[in-house]
Amino acid sequence: MINELACREHVTRRKGLGEMEKEKLIRVELKDGVICRMAKKAFNLFLAQNKILKFERSDGWVHVEIDSLRQPAPSRTYNGEERRYSF
């Protein structure tokens, strides 16, 4: 189930070091009532799919449908005419 996968603690290996480090996880409550911690990428995916009811910031819980949220970063794809020279 995708909720279980997203809610597991993710572990990353630091380059050049043999020690493990926990990735910073965001505490969330999903619309189906599940409370868990998820990685930033999973959080952004669930937020875009409108599956998050609220999440915790350092100053308290943010209700997605009530409180103000940051807008996602604009796409960096170029939509204009191709200008590079082809050989």
pLDDT in tens, 47-79: 889 999 999 988 889 998 887 777 666 667 777
User: Would residue 83 count as lying in a domain?
Assistant: no
User: Would residue 40 count as lying in a domain?
Assistant: yes
Tell me how far apart the alpha carbons of residues 31 and 57 are, in angstroms, rounded to a whole number. Answer: 18
User: Would residue 48 count as lying in a domain?
Assistant: yes
User: Would residue 43 count as lying in a domain?
Assistant: yes
User: Would residue 25 count as lying in a domain?
Assistant: yes
Both tokens of 33, joined, read: 């009532």
Tell me how far apart the alpha carbons of residues 1 and 42 are, in angstroms, rounded to a whole number. Answer: 13
Tell me how far apart the alpha carbons of residues 26 and 7 are, in angstroms, rounded to a whole number. Answer: 10
pTM greater than 0.85: no
Residue 32 pLDDT > 80: yes
Tell me how far apart the alpha carbons of residues 43 and 34 are, in angstroms, rounded to a whole number. Answer: 14
pLDDT interval class at 22 (50, 70, 90): low
Residue 1 pLDDT > 60: no
Number of domains in the chain: 1
User: Would residue 28 count as lying in a domain?
Assistant: yes
- What pLDDT score does 7 carry? 57
Taking only the tens place, the pLDDT of each residue in 34-43 is: 999 999 899 9
Q: Are 46 and 52 in contact (CB under 8 A)?
A: yes
- What pLDDT score does 36 carry? 94
Tell me which residue range forms the domain holding 14: 2-63
User: Would residue 37 count as lying in a domain?
Assistant: yes
